[in-house]
Structure 1
Amino acid sequence: MKFAVFLSGSLLLFLLSDWTESVDTVDIKTLARIINFFEQNYKRVDENGNPHQYAVAINVPKHQCQQNFKPTNFLTKENATKVRNAINNETNGLYIGRELIAAGRKKVAQRSYYKHSEYLLLNPVNKSPMTRLLNYRKKDSCSVFYTFYSPCVKSCLNATSNNNILGALRRWNRHGGIKAFVFKNIYVQDLDKDLQTEFLKIAAQVPLYRCPVENQCYACYGEQNDTIDARCLPQPSFLA
């Protein structure tokens, strides 16, 4: 009987330690500093300084997403000018580095639409730049995906669209370490959509955050089909 109790206790200890590892989350202040770093180094702007959609993802050592880390010596293998030049070239719109990938948008030849930055980084699911990035560092890592505008409801979050990112999020869910899906602004065409429901599709797979202004981020929650935090949703004034 003692032997059985010992086994049960050991199993419980193992399960608890495994669960603890799986729920590690990014330090919210560190996340804000990382997003500021992205905005300062890779942000897409036109000749008048107007911002445009872009997305960035990193897979870095775990400690770089934990408390007190400051990105003063960060992503040193990635040249910021090369990143910006690559994502502003709409014939490709993509940069693939060792610890960082980034995308602007890509014009579809002989058509009147563009592939979105989220799609360019996350698809095709098993051969995407994001899959390659995650495979580079599988243990003790932190992966952060940042998009300037929230993923659009019409295609990115639409399971019936060929351009959705939902399968990629499910695959990312299986990756170990700290994870964070972050957006800054709500896509303007989605301000009147049911984003409470739509954002749950992201939060069900990876922790969702919003970093709307410099040095400020919020956890959106919703991991267990809970309510998305109101700070991650359109404010009533937008819908008036």
Structure 2
Amino acid sequence: MFLSGLLLLFLLPDWTESIDDDTVDINTLGRIIDFFEHNYKRIDRDGHPRQYAVAINVPKHQCQPNFNPGYNNFLTQENAINVKNAITDETNALYQGAELIAAGTRKMKGYNRHSESLLLNPAGNSPMTKLLNKRKDGCSVFYTFQSPCVDSCLNAAKDHNILKALKNWKEHSGIKAFVFKNIWKQDPEKNLQSEFKQIVAHVPLFRCVSENRCYACKGLGNTPIDEHCLSAKKIKDEL
């Protein structure tokens, strides 16, 4: 029994470290999302923000504690103007770079193709698939300005849903984080508790509303989704 206890003491630090290595640092995540918002945010001519999404696959240390993303050390192969021009063009609305992909919304006949779907579909050969293949054990972060819509993106019966792509992403090594800022305008009254669990089943879900305010949504297994990820009111009440 004594020897077993000693063995556990020797193994525990390494086991704990391995868990931490596969988890994004939430403070660093806030700085990464703030970098996206400052550099790639899609703004209308009237000054109103519009839906867009960004995904990155970067070296693991860039998602770990004490990393501060800046122009000289983060996504240095991407040109912010090129990214914004590409995602603003609604005939294509897609940018594919070295470590970053991004999308706005694409005008189709009778509807707009959502940015999450543009990046994650087709599930086996999407821009996200190609991005993940470039670095097998890096840190992959997917950020969408508004949460994936319940009626299409999270609806398994719809052609453009992202659920199969999330399942594929789960198999990728390294740190993973799916992040949103606002709740999609048509979904506040939907059952987001169960809908967001479809994301959490595959990748960790976060909500980042500012550089210093990120929340782990949790929700794995029987754990409920954190209230901060379900309501605008909860966040406003704490401001």
TM-score, structure 2 as length reference: 0.88
Give the whole-Å Cα distance in 2 for the aligned partners of 1:164 and 1:99: 24
Question: Which of 111, 114, 124 matches 1:116?
Answer: 114
Offset at 1:24? 1.6
Segments of 5+ residues of structure 2 without an aligned counterpart are: 1-6
Asked if 1:176 corresponds to 2:185, the answer is no
1:186-231 superposed Cα distances (whole Å, 9 cap, x missing partner) = 0110000000000000011000000022321000001224200000
Query: Is 2:151 aligned against 1:157?
Result: no
Letter in 1 for 2:124: N
- The correspondence of residues 70-85 of structure 1 with structure 2, limited to 5 A, is 70-72=68-70, 73-85=73-85
CA deviation vs aligned residue, 1:106-141 (integer Å, no higher than 9, x gap)? 111xx12111000000000111000000000002x1
Aligned letter for 1:119? S
How many residues of Structure 1 are paired with residues of Structure 2 in the alignment? 222
Q: Is 2:227–2:234's contact at 8 Å kept on the other side of the alignment?
A: no
* CA deviation vs aligned residue, 1:62-89 (integer Å, no higher than 9, x gap): 0000000000221000000000000000
CA shift in 2, pair 1:80/1:55, >3 Å: same
For residues 87 and 233 of structure 2, the distance between their equivalents in structure 1, rounded to whole angstroms, comes to: 34
Partner of 2:4: none
Q: Does the alignment pair 1:49 with 2:27?
A: no
Q: Would you say 1:24 and 2:30 are equivalent positions? A: no
Q: What runs of 5+ residues in structure 1 fail to find an aligned partner? A: 1-8
Aligned equivalents of 2:87, 2:48: Cα separation in 1: 15
Contact 1:200 1:225 in 2 (8 A): no
Q: Which residue in 2 is equivalent to 1:39?
A: 37
The equivalent position to 2:225 in structure 1, one of 222, 225, 228, is: 228
> Which of 139, 143, 150 is the matching residue for 2:140?
143
Provide the C-alpha distance between the structure 2 equivalents of 1:98 and 1:235, rounded to a whole number of angstroms: 34
2:132, 2:20 → 1: CA distance? Answer: 16
Q: Distance in 2 between matches of 1:237 and 1:33?
A: 22
**Map of 1:101 onto structure 2:** 101
- Alignment TM-score, normalising by the size of structure 1: 0.88
Structure-2 change in CA distance of 1:91 and 1:225 (3 Å): farther
Aligned residue runs from structure 1 range 1-12, under 5 A? none
Distance 1:236 1:71, change over 3 A: closer
Please list the CA deviations of residues 12-52 of structure 1 after superposition, one character each: whole Å capped at 9, or x if unmatched. Answer: x7xx96x9459721001000000000000000001121000
Q: Report the Cα distance in structure 1 between the residues aligned to 2:75 and 2:66, rounded to whole angstroms.
A: 17
Q: 1:204-223 residue pairs with structure 2 within 5 A?
A: 204-223=201-220
Distance change >3 Å, CA 211–CA 137, structure 1 → 2: same
> Relative to structure 2, which stretch is displaced further, 62-71 or 205-214?
205-214
- How has the CA–CA distance of structure 1 residues 236 and 29 changed in structure 2, closer, same or farther, with 3 Å as cutoff? closer
Note if contact 1:204-1:225 (Cα within 8 Å) is conserved in structure 2: no
- Does the CA contact (< 8 Å) of 2:183 and 2:232 recur in 1? no
Identical columns (%): 63
Does the 8 A contact of 1:93 with 1:105 survive in 2?
A: yes
